[in-house]
Structure 1
Amino acid sequence: MRRAAPFGPNLFASVMGTGIVATAGASMPGLRAAATYVWALDAALLVFLVAAAARRWTWSAVRAQLADPVMAQFWGAPPMALMTVGTGALLLGGDWIGLPAALAVDWALWTVGSLLGLATSVLVPLRMIGSGERASGGWLMPVVPPMVSAASGALLAGHLPEGPLRQGLVLCCYALFGVSLFATVVIVPQIWQQLVRHGPGAAATVPTLWIVLGPLGQSITAANLLAGVPVLPGQTAFGVLYGTITWGFALLWTALAAAVTVRTARRGLPFALTWWSFVFPLGTLVTGTSALATRVPSPMFTGVAVVLYGVLVLAWATVAVRTLVRR
């Protein structure tokens, strides 16, 4: 009899991936209704996984997962899953449940997700100190949540009245932006060094190369969403300048990750839950490109956003089906 796989935090990557399809679709012309249904599916999936975690996770089980140097990285997934569903509630769910209820849901999920994300940003890297583990894209998982908080918080700040509260939230979002950005700046060179010296590693870990797009795309999104809530001079200029520069590097990494993935697939790329790494990070590049298109009306940004969204939907459908059939 086949033994059931352990219930780990990596399962919440499916919520992240499904949610980004919904939130990215909110800005695509003619897709709002379809995106809302995807968000509803994602919210139901989150409720199911949270209920399952409440039944199955004990303190000893959590400690065992944190002790596993691979599984520990994926503790960044639950806080990002919470915030992704919350953002979808605000962008899409308000059409069904009303704006006040959508705001209440988003505030609750953002608050819990942000606190959990700050915890993973400290505790998981602390756990890795002295471990001697090989650097991989998975190392970014626990430090990306604060960047998701920054982007999601910018949307919430837009619903606050002008004054100290709005200013405080925007400043908090920029601080969260910095937490994730500089952690990424430290980690990505180590990933590149491992690639150059030792190659991509085991086939099952190759999809994690795509995780690098997560902080890149999400930072572009955050910088330009925060520009829509002006409380400091130069926010729009920073969003466009930083966003465009980072967007160029994100496209370079997309090409690199795609080439490595195709080369590995020719030799055999077995299915694993790491395949969800193909989805959420690419989705952040879609939202980042769309955010840039809002600030700089350009056919280039608009066209690339549409093409990337088509690829995102295809990737999500493929990974979702493979997850259901588990093969």
Structure 2
Amino acid sequence: MRVVRQFGLNWFTTVMGIGIVAALTYTSPITIPLQHVVGVTLFAALNVVFISAFVMWLLRWVLATETAVDDFRKPGRALFYGAFAMGLNVVGNDYFLIGTHLLPRLLAIHISIGIWLAGTLASLFTVIVVPYLLFAEHRVEREETVASWLIPLVPPIVAAATGTNLLPYVGGSAVQFAMLAVIVAMFGVTFFLFILMSTLVYARLVYHRRLSGQEAPSLWVEIGPIGMSMGTMCGLPIQANHLFGAYANALHAFAEVFAMAMWGIGVWWILISTMHTLLHVTRRGDGLPFHLGWWSYVFPIGSFTSGTYALDHLMGHSFFAIAGVVQLAILWVCFTVVFVRTTMGIVKGELMTWRAVHQLEGSEHVCAQAKRA
């Protein structure tokens, strides 16, 4: 019960991070050693972590219902329903990109479609309910604005980007067009809200105190929807070209220009976020205390890298293939650090208290004796 009560939806950020690193490693545009072995290993780990997190979430509703309901009353906790929705979409996408090479192809595609439908419903729930609660129930101040508020707004565009891959596999042209309409609509919802939210974040950075070391990782969240917008727009001319008829060529040209422009703003956000991060490791900063928010160094960078991959697929230019692999290397550095710190935090009981208090005190006593010896 202690563990169940402590389990928050922010743990689904680990699902998002592991899943996107697995997919990007497996599908690297330039062949790298052991990419498929590493990708499959991470895919297996993803399934274990996702199932564990999903079971914990269900148990929380059954065994600690009041605590689960209370998530909706706290703005800092409610927003992580977005992580739950994005986690679903990432898992479904990995079954398409990796699972089709491990399972019977048709089975993996059906699993991917089923998870995508669940992720889409969760995404729509999140993007409607959480902002409404922020508008009508929660009390926040302007100086409290952080980019983490994007988390419940981003899931529809993640569902749009991952759903684009599935378009050719959902039936006849009528069904495909209906799915296309949903995908474009979800893209529009998140992209519009992303612009509004980014304006608030920019204003907060200009007019209020600087981000603390605790808050600094949140700035990286801005990069996530940029990458997913690139992935969606680049995927449409490839997967849905036949549905646009006479407008297909125009869509292809627009996608190239749009995605390259978004790539530019993504690089800008990465530089600004990096400068904020480095500031806090100097004497002028507050330090960077570890918490689960560090997974913001993983999924958003992975999202942007997936957008770069999509540009390479659309244009076939070596520039974006090389850029994608460079970004993958940076992603792996961030992922390794965050994964190791998270594992250590779990084992030590720092991120989640899973041992009795007397056990913890006993281990500390043993450590103290060892140091004296």
State whether TM-score is above 0.5: yes
1:121: how far off? Answer: 0.3
Partner of 2:315: 296
Asked if 1:189 is matched to 2:199, the reply is yes
2-structure distance, mates of 1:163, 1:107: 17
Q: TM-score, normalised by structure 2?
A: 0.84
Residue among 72, 87, 98 paired with 2:93: 87
Q: Flag as ranges the 4+ runs of structure 1 deviating above 3 A.
A: 2-5
Partner of 2:277: 261
Partner of 1:226: 236
Partner SS for 2:281: helix
2-structure distance, mates of 1:4, 1:176: 33
CA contact (8 A) 1:9 1:75 kept: yes
Partner SS for 1:97: coil
Give 1 or 2 for the bigger CA radius of gyration.
2
1:161: how far off? Answer: 4.8
Asked if 1:324 is matched to 2:324, the reply is no
Partner of 1:72: 78
The amino acid of 2:317's aligned partner reads S
Partner of 1:26: 26
Q: TM-score, normalised by structure 1?
A: 0.95
Q: Would you say how many aligned residue pairs link Structure 1 and Structure 2?
A: 326
CA-atom RMSD in angstroms: 1.7
Partner SS for 1:52: helix
Partner of 1:202: 212
Partner SS for 1:158: helix
1:3: how far off? Answer: 9.4
Partner SS for 1:217: helix
Partner SS for 1:142: coil
CA contact (8 A) 2:5 2:67 kept: no
Note the 1:113-262 alignment, pairs <5 A. Answer: 113-129=119-135, 131-133=139-141, 134-228=144-238, 229-230=240-241, 231-232=243-244, 233=247, 234-262=250-278
Partner of 1:107: 113
The amino acid of 1:80's aligned partner reads M
CA contact (8 A) 1:200 1:206 kept: no
**Residues 6-58 of structure 1 deviation map (CA, whole Å, 9 limit, x = unaligned):** 21100000000000101112321242332122112111110011111111234
Query: Unpaired segments of 5 or more residues in structure 2?
Result: 351-373
Identity across the alignment (%): 28
2-structure distance, mates of 1:51, 1:132: 32
CA contact (8 A) 1:293 1:302 kept: yes
**Residues 259-297 of structure 1 deviation map (CA, whole Å, 9 limit, x = unaligned):** 001101323100000000010000011110011011122
Partner SS for 2:288: coil
2-structure distance, mates of 1:237, 1:38: 35
1-structure distance, mates of 2:255, 2:41: 31
The amino acid of 1:248's aligned partner reads G
2-structure distance, mates of 1:272, 1:4: 19
CA contact (8 A) 2:233 2:255 kept: yes
2-structure distance, mates of 1:304, 1:5: 43
2-structure distance, mates of 1:308, 1:325: 26
Decide which moves more: 286-295 or 93-102: 93-102
Partner SS for 2:151: helix
**Residues 200-246 of structure 1 deviation map (CA, whole Å, 9 limit, x = unaligned):** 43321110100000100111011111221211223322221110111
Query: Unpaired segments of 5 or more residues in structure 1?
Result: none
Decide which moves more: 11-20 or 72-81: 72-81
CA contact (8 A) 2:5 2:60 kept: no
Decide which moves more: 166-175 or 180-189: 166-175
